[in-house]
Amino acid sequence: MTPQPIRRLGAIEVHGMTRSAFLVRSALTAGALYGGHAVGPFARRAFAQGGGDAEILNFGLMLQYLEADFYRQGLELGLTGQVRTLATDFREQEQDHVTTLTEAVTGAGGRPVPKPRFEFPIEDQGSFVTLGMTLEDTGVMAFNGAGPKLKSEAALLGAGRIVQVEARQAAALRLAAMEKPAPDAFDETIEMKDALAAAKPFIEK
């Protein structure tokens, strides 16, 4: 059964221009419908470390690749005002996360997964904020699900520090969209394979 948070991705109500809303909904629904069966080579590269901390850290690295590239592409759209400031700050933070997780994978005896090419269905500031909230929420749920499986205390501490920033980023984007920054009392969790399946529509072939 597809986890409830992943089903929720496909049911997100997207506000903004009709075409932008359609593109975002289509990408999210694809990941929600196919679940863990849709991860393809993207997930196979992440899970090719033979298990353990290196595999989990590589999973986190892939998510940070995705988010860093999302903010880079958003800035190329010509974002303005507070949203542009947030995207600039968040891009730098995600790049720092990429550096930290790359070193952590190597330290755990693994090989950092190569960065894929991403393409996001963002055409305007509204679709950027909408998709950004969803990506950050998914990242938080994914880190919450994978983090407790880390055996190394240092790796667990590092993941905990990252997920706190991810949650703050999600809250800031919600405020920019005039939504509640913390709509739920508790964060949910999702499995790694389901998070990667939700990310698959944004990966170029």
Domain boundaries, the chain: 4-202
Number of residues in the chain? 205
| Range 156-165 average pLDDT | 91
The answer on pLDDT for 148 being more than 50 is yes
Tens digit of pLDDT for each residue in 62-110? 999 999 999 999 999 999 999 999 999 999 999 999 999 999 999 999 9
Mean pLDDT of 25-42: 47
- The fold of the 4-202 domain, in CATH, is Ferritin (1.20.1260)
Cβ neighbours of 102 (radius 10 Å): 18
Span 104-143, pLDDT tens digits: 999 999 999 999 999 999 999 999 999 999 899 888 888 8
Closest CA to 163 of 70, 84, 101: 101
Distance of CA 4 to the CA centre of its chain: 17
User: What is the DSSP code string of the chain?
Assistant: ---HHHHHHHT----S-HHHHHHHHHHHHHHHHHGGGG-HHHHHHHTTT-SSHHHHHHHHHHHHHHHHHHHHHHHHTT--HHHHHHHHHHHHHHHHHHHHHHHHHHHTT--PPPP--B-----SHHHHHHHHHHHHHHHHHHHHHHGGG---HHHHHHHHHHHHHHHHHHHHHHHHTTS-S--SSS-----HHHHHHHHGGGB--
- When pLDDT is cut at 50, 70 and 90, the band that residue 34 belongs to is very low
pLDDT of 23 higher than 50: no
Q: How far is the CA of 15 from the CAs of 23, 117, 121, 127, 130, in angstroms?
A: 12, 26, 14, 7, 7
